[in-house]
Structure 1
Amino acid sequence: MSVAIHNMNGTKEQLEEFLISGEEYRWFIDPEVHLDGNWEDFRGAFIRCDADLLATVVRAGPEDPTWNWWPSLKQRGQPVAVTEGVAALLPLMRLSSRAAEAILAGIANGWEGHPEALIPTLVSLAELKIEDIGGLGSFTPEERQRRWYGERTWHWRGPVEHVPGMLHFPVPTAQRDLAPVRLTPATVPPRMLYVSPVGAPASSLLPITLDVFRNAGADCLLLQYDEAELGIPEDVRAIRDRDYKWPLAYRNLHPDVVADYDYVFFWDDDLGIKGFDPARFVRIMQINHLAMAQPAIESPHCLSHAITSRKPCPPWRGSEGTAPRRIVGRLTNFVEIMAPVFTRDAWRTVYSYVDPGSHSGWGYDYIPVGAKGIVDALPVVHTRAVQSFNSKSQGEFECFLYSQGLFAHPHTEYGWLFE
């Protein structure tokens, strides 16, 4: 079963695209849906569920006969009896391909109406299975009752209350205004250094990457691990040194060597960054007082850590009379070493832990350096499949943590990053 995340407005085109994809199930999630938790865990909870429609606030017509959208439900212009209808709130739902086919067939047969009446009714008339994601309705299986959402966190009127571990729609109510000092940017433009171990596999990505960082005013340092001719521009410093990423860092990135820079990007060479804005990324780090951060990761392959996956960010609404804040990412306790960005002080701390004998660098993600964050507004693409899952890197991970007195910990989101 493949699962994708898409926005849903009940359109015929989206259902047709779903069927063309060949997927068995697809999730449709409105950008203003917020989960206080991990989306991968949420979707994983329904892997064994065979319902053709999973939605919220599902109810049969007789359970809610005065609902104002029932009159919109018609077939070939004729009103449909409320007793035939099924309604649901659809900012979050999962459809099977069979359900999508039934909905499109119904539309072709002259059915029309508000999506929250039309979609569940057509699925029901096709005698397909409908279940509620949670709540307490008649369509909710016993094991999911009082799970995932409730009246305090999920309704169309909004805004709703924040309840840990639950789904929220439209968005959680802000408890108080943000402290102004938190969002005060620095007045002097920071100095940035982009560093990457590079080789022949990165030759197609390198020109774009260098253009992005040079245009943003960053200096670039390349640590070339092979003998390939990469066409490196004359104003870009390059050091030929055959080794893995972190031994290269140990030899070439001593904190005193990079002390003139406020922020150090130490990235793998297989990242697609077209459209990335290093200066904006650093400003986000500044106003959120982050010591270490990374862009969210998009990839056609599996990710090493689910928390790094790009997520939608709901708007933040303060108290009445205050302007909404733009949310751009998440405050976390974890930044992956694939694409980390360090402040000068954070890099000095991390460098003090670097073991020149460690090839993978596994475990460096858990070094305590201060506030960490993942910026969803500026994602990058990991173009190659992860290749470091093996017994050697796992051994290095365990050895590093044990030798430094560190603990592996669950990846957690603590709050939002603002701009």
Structure 2
Amino acid sequence: MFISELLPVKEAFKLLDENQKLTSEETIDLINAHGRVNSRRLTSKLDSPPFDKAAMDGYAIKAEDTFQARADNPIKLKVIDAISAGNVSNVKVRNGEAIKIATGAPIPEGADAVIMEEYTNQEGNEIEVLQPTSPGENIAPKGEDIKAGETILEPGTVMRPQELAITASAGYNTIKVYKKPRVKIIITGDELIEPGTKPGPGKIINSNKYSLKALVESAKASPTVEHSPDNPKILKEKIEEAIRGYDMIITTGGTAISKGDIVVDTVDKLGQIIFHGVAIRPGKPLAFGLIEDKPVFMLSGYPVAAMVQFDIFVRYYLLRMQNINYEHELVERICQRKTPSRLGRTDYIRAFTDDKIAESILISGSGVIKSMVKSNSYIVIEENTEGIDKNSKCNVILFDSFKI
């Protein structure tokens, strides 16, 4: 299959958006929800905290008893009970009295403040209060964090530790989330062998197997990887099997514009090619299609090109499958080298970037993995820009921005 014209990057994203698929929902235990994407608006089932509680270790008191307290004129109060966290007191605090209280314990009836322990001296069953306390001081009121009925999470929220905490506090032990996309990665090529084996004539090690599995996992999806020889019949069978059991297929190899490459032709026969060829460097042979309404990304066999294609296009699509409103985040830096480009093509230049400058990696080539190891970012040169001069501003995508 041949392509007649390379698609601009913006057009490729437009076609991806027009053909975006979403995964369905599932209910999981909250303890297993870290990193998952909440699929429902959640409202709190209760107030948190559910009662007025002590914010500090100290003594529950009536604040008015301490208004005249000074270090040189302490006020004495009688200690009538003690409350530890998880317990309550049935004793009412009256003027001249105090109840020893631990952080998190419910405020007893009659008390309206907590004096911190370090501002007291204890003598038997009495304390000396060394400074005044205001009403409400060191008390976390009922519903201070969240109130019953309050919205705590919107759909599409990635569950970080803090979201897990507030969801638990709101009374949930299970939540509905978007299912992780199940992704079948099919690495094609008769030339590929596994690491640990010395390559014979014409053979190379299958590094894409390891990089793509990790990349899919980094986009919160569940990958399975297998190898296919360059045999149209075998490849067709593997793709048909994958369509039955997975939400997405990613292939590598067999996308270049030549008669010997088979992946694009096979996908075209089984479904529909939405586009084949994007005006980018590296990775212009990128193809995208649908088979039985399931997305198929056809990546280059070159390791660096495949990584760039994944980072820019597949990651975007995979995260949006989980209802994450993901967009690539561009930051501005000063370019340390003169970096040429060609009009009509968007370049993703491997670079090392700090908080001020971006320096392109001099090692190049779609198969030179070392260039990715030395990089932490892409300098993005848009299609209507004819390169970047040294010490000029440039737009950068940091690899760290891919973390969701």
- What band does the TM-score fall into relative to the shorter chain? under 0.3
Normalised by the length of structure 2, the TM-score is: 0.26
Structure 1-normalised TM-score? 0.25
Q: Which has the larger radius of gyration?
A: 2
Whose RCO is larger (CA < 8 A, sep 6+)?
Answer: 2
Greater helix content = 1
